[in-house]
Amino acid sequence: MVADIRCEGTDPHQLAIVEARLTLNNTLVRRNEAATTGGGVSVGANAAATLNDSKVRNNTASNGGGINLDPGGSVTPIRTRVHDNTPNNCVPTGSVPGCIG
């Protein structure tokens, strides 16, 4: 579990979860970049992320600027906002509950 942190960068960074489980509590993920998908958070197959009372914003990638979810992975946002990511907030569309655009 990660709590009360900021995952923030101006150089190419992202929070990648590969074949693991991660819980973020009261965490800000912003101003990160990825060359491909998941500028803020990228959740791989067989991985799971729970985001409690967190924000994922102002991240950039070629797709899934906020959150990228690979097939077989899962993301559970609880009282979490994903917004203002470029070019979109979550991919695939509809894969992250409550994430629009």
Encode pLDDT of 43-53 as tens digits: 999 999 999 99
Q: What is the pLDDT of residue 4?
A: 53
User: Looking at the domain assignment, is residue 98 inside a domain?
Assistant: no
Q: What is the pLDDT of residue 7?
A: 61
Which stretch of DSSP H or E encloses residue 91?
strand 90-91
State the residue range of the domain holding 32.
2-91
Q: For tokens 């906020």, what's the residue?
A: 66
User: Looking at the domain assignment, is residue 57 inside a domain?
Assistant: yes
- The pTM score is 0.86
User: Looking at the domain assignment, is residue 70 inside a domain?
Assistant: yes
Query: How many structural domains compose the chain?
Result: 1
User: Looking at the domain assignment, is residue 100 inside a domain?
Assistant: no
User: Looking at the domain assignment, is residue 96 inside a domain?
Assistant: no
Encode pLDDT of 34-87 as tens digits: 888 889 999 999 999 999 999 999 999 999 999 999 999 999 999 999 999 999
Separation of alpha carbons 4 and 71, rounded Å = 29
